[in-house]
Amino acid sequence: MPESFIVVSDLHMGGEDNYGPNLSEFCSFLEWIRDLPPEGRTMTVECKQEGGKTITIRPPAKLILLGDVLELWGPREQDRNSVIKDSTAPFSLLHEIDCDKIYITGNHDENMEEVAKKIKSFDWKGKNKFFLYPRHYPPENEVKKGVEVNGLRYSFLHGHQYDREQITYTLSRIINTRFDPIDFFQDLANVHFTKRLSVLVSIGLLILWLAFILLSAFLPDLIITRGIGAASGIIASAALFRYFLSSRKVVKERNVSGWFKYIFLIAFAGMMVILAAGVTNTQIFSILYSIVFSVLTYLVLLSVIPRIITSSMRGFYNRFRKSKDKSAEEIVKENYFNLKKDTIDANVVVFGHTHQASTYLPGADELLKHKLFVNTGCWVNEKGRDVNTFVYIDPDGVCLLKWAGGGKIDCISHFTNQDIMRFSKA
């Protein structure tokens, strides 16, 4: 039986306001899909290649979420609660659409890979299922042959595999296990206590600590050194305790006794006393001073460094990411697509990642196994490009379309099954 697929990627739900998703439009789009009649909806769309074109969009058999759907890498205000807020309505609408859903992880929602390895799929409305795949569909251990849809073979992947700046992905492939220090720091930055620390406070505490370490190296007088250390420690203790109190909800969430915060108050107060007393040369206080200062150093570094790193990494990454904004043609022609490493037997490769909705059908002389490359584009607030785009696959061919709102759809490019088959056999 002929099938139709709809593919979307790069929503970055939970992302910054100037980088986040067009949630209202995406929800309207999902409602429109949900309400498609069984026979489909026939409409005339404006196509950049051909002008007006009549297409029929049928209810999908599968709806593919092709990575970076959730912004777990750099959430709004570095708080992953933003992801939950943004994704509640869209995932509720996804549940109402009567088809299988396939979630393929990208580099910004790679945390889902940990879930995907443990939960391959689960029932989601009637006979439909929700599938989770890390990085590839079909699964990575089966990618030697693509998924057959209406006589053509397709490969679906997020596209960060083509990004040479994704060093952690490359290392993960080499050591055959996930290596993601960015996600490690993001996890630390999303501890309830750490989230309460502003970036400015984090930078201030780090500078204070570094200044003390430098002064300690150049001041031979032990009492002066400890005096500076005690002052720094008392300031840091007060700041940390203040933010502990502002994050006390986590105590209530875990049903811990109200005495818990008073125990911490006593502990912090005790640390201040020991730091102050440690200025003297009394042996016992000198030992306690060293212990307390070591513990406090650990707390400061564990609290402030994740906030600083996660707040700055997006700008740093975007500044040096050469594959950003590249079209499907540029990805292929500039050798981001590595022919030697391509083991996928597919007529069509569908990917996202660069946010540039585009297609590319290489010439026969380019020796690229005659694949059609389709970049799904994105659903984020970015100017100067086609956004709110999706790929529609049906028995007639492959369409790269744009949701223009209010049920209106524009066509960016279209390839018939016959053209693709003819080219694949060339």
Q: What is the pLDDT of residues 307-333, one digit of tens each?
A: 776 666 666 555 555 556 788 888 887
User: 171 lies in a domain?
Assistant: no
Do 234 and 381 belong together in one domain? no
User: 177 lies in a domain?
Assistant: no
Do 249 and 341 belong together in one domain? no
The pLDDT value given to residue 66: 94
Do 207 and 348 belong together in one domain? no
User: 131 lies in a domain?
Assistant: yes
User: 300 lies in a domain?
Assistant: yes
Its domain, for residue 46, covers: 5-165+321-424
Q: Name beta bridge partners: 348.
A: 154, 372
The pLDDT value given to residue 93: 94
Q: What is the pTM of this model?
A: 0.73
User: 183 lies in a domain?
Assistant: no
Do 266 and 399 belong together in one domain? no
Q: Name beta bridge partners: 358.
A: 375
Do 310 and 328 belong together in one domain? no
Can you list the residues of the chain whose pLDDT is less than 50? 248-256, 426
User: 99 lies in a domain?
Assistant: yes
User: 172 lies in a domain?
Assistant: no
Number of separate domains in the chain: 2
The domain boundary residue, chosen from 297, 314, 331: 314
User: 170 lies in a domain?
Assistant: no
Do 11 and 28 belong together in one domain? yes
The domain boundary residue, chosen from 264, 282, 314: 314
Q: Which of 101, 94, 102 is nearest to 26 (CA)?
A: 94
